[in-house]
Structure 1
Amino acid sequence: MAVAALACLALAACGRESGAGARDGDGSGSVRTGPRVAGVHWNVDSVTAGGRRTAAPDGAHVLIDAKGRATGNFGCNHFTAETRTDGDTITVRRATTTAMGCDKNIERFEKALSRTFSGELTAAVTGRNLTLTTAAGDSIALTSESPAPLTGTTWTVTSLVSGTTASSLPGGTERTARLTFGADGSVRGALGCNSFRGTAEITGTTVTFGPVESTRMMCPDPAMKLERALLAVLDGRTTYRIDHRTLTLTAANGDGLGATAEKAGT
């Protein structure tokens, strides 16, 4: 009888173990855990709407916290929204955005992303990649990425800021300007035409730039226009803000720059 009782207990335990495996997603009717989406900073790679794929501008991202509040950037403007997750379905509702004026190409992307990031979306995670798909077949491709520190990171300048308006760089100067802050209080990089070096004292959320030394090459007008704008920002006291891998530097007069952390190998 003791042997029989032990055999029954063993069979019961096996049965429970098999049932637990079924709950992980074999379609047996038990609750299935969806992919992990909350608590991860997702960079937007592209949006495909109406069969047309559009690459995302630098800085577009989505972050959903444990309470279902989504925050992020559509490419220029920041947004917040409420979400509800049920298995692999994410429902997005009540989105609100800032209203900064943006480059027209970025505005078109923002409209496509905001329309797609709405309503019921099916989430699929593969490694570091997330795809959100609407019932109509439109989709958003995203990739998780680690946050960037201010120092030791190569920041590529992506926009110029004046007050509440962010504008794209002069034509032909994309990815030509960058800066890197050293742990020793130095800053170096490229201005779009000439390379430069100087000092940068970091205190709290401020960066105070000392005199900047640069090479003295002459370049086409767009590059020189960008260089003059950047030198005006990298002069004296500025405030900085890092949003995961996006850096904003703002001078006292409201002029500034936006930059993104370069990915490894770029």
Structure 2
Amino acid sequence: MIKIKKEKQVMNKKYFAAAALACALMSCGTGKNSVAVVDFTGEWNIVEVNGEKVSAENAPFLGFDKDGHRLYGNAGCNRLMGSFELDTLNAGKVKFGQVAATRMMCPDMTLEQNVLEALNKVAGYETVGEDVALNDAEGKPVILLQKREVAEVSVNDLNGAWEIVSVKGNPVREVEKQPQLVFNVAEKRVHGNASCNTINGSFTQEEGQAASLRFSQMISTMMACPNMDVESSILKALDEVRSFEIKADGTVSLLGADGAEVLSLKKLAETEAEA
């Protein structure tokens, strides 16, 4: 009898040990998924692709517009855009859809190709310390994301004259005169030229949104020039602007509703500004 009792005690210990392990793996009794729910809102740097660390001058990143389910960012050369859907019933599941990129050519497209291929494989996510890994259907990490620090900005930083150096990623070339914008923050006015004609207008901001920016009442003269395509693209881009960001090198990106850059500006000296 003593031997049987001891055997039962050993079996009971093994059973409870196995049950405890199963509970730990499945978050038994907690009513919660064992995968932490991630708030993707904002922008994230892509720091690894397929296990290889990313080192690039134009570091790729992803931005998530949670309310609109919109995905935007940069793949290393070109701007990317698309959609995403989080599985609210199963934490750790995410799906990217209709991811597309602009078609500008860069000296080395390897990183961009790897980023886009990896995005097409994403089926889930998990936290890795303070970072987030995007995994494929088999749970293998294909992209590692690191939250971007949001720098404090002020519309006062825009005051003065700026050269328009690119429109939606395309450098401005072969124009009648170099296009520029001059901000008068005190009066909330802007003037300049769109490569041919003089432009004038105003700008507004959303209350409590320091980086918001929207142009309004923009008018231009009606002079004809040999190449009006650049001017047309600039005027269209100005109408799409909804916010701005100041980069580490001092240049300014004017962004559309999806967070993608529509105009890039470079600061001008006072002697270079239009009267």
Q: Which has the larger radius of gyration?
A: 2
Question: Could you say which structure has the higher strand fraction?
Answer: 1
Report the TM range for the smaller structure's normalisation. Answer: 0.3 to 0.5
TM-score normalised to the size of structure 2? Answer: 0.46
TM-score normalised to the size of structure 1? Answer: 0.48
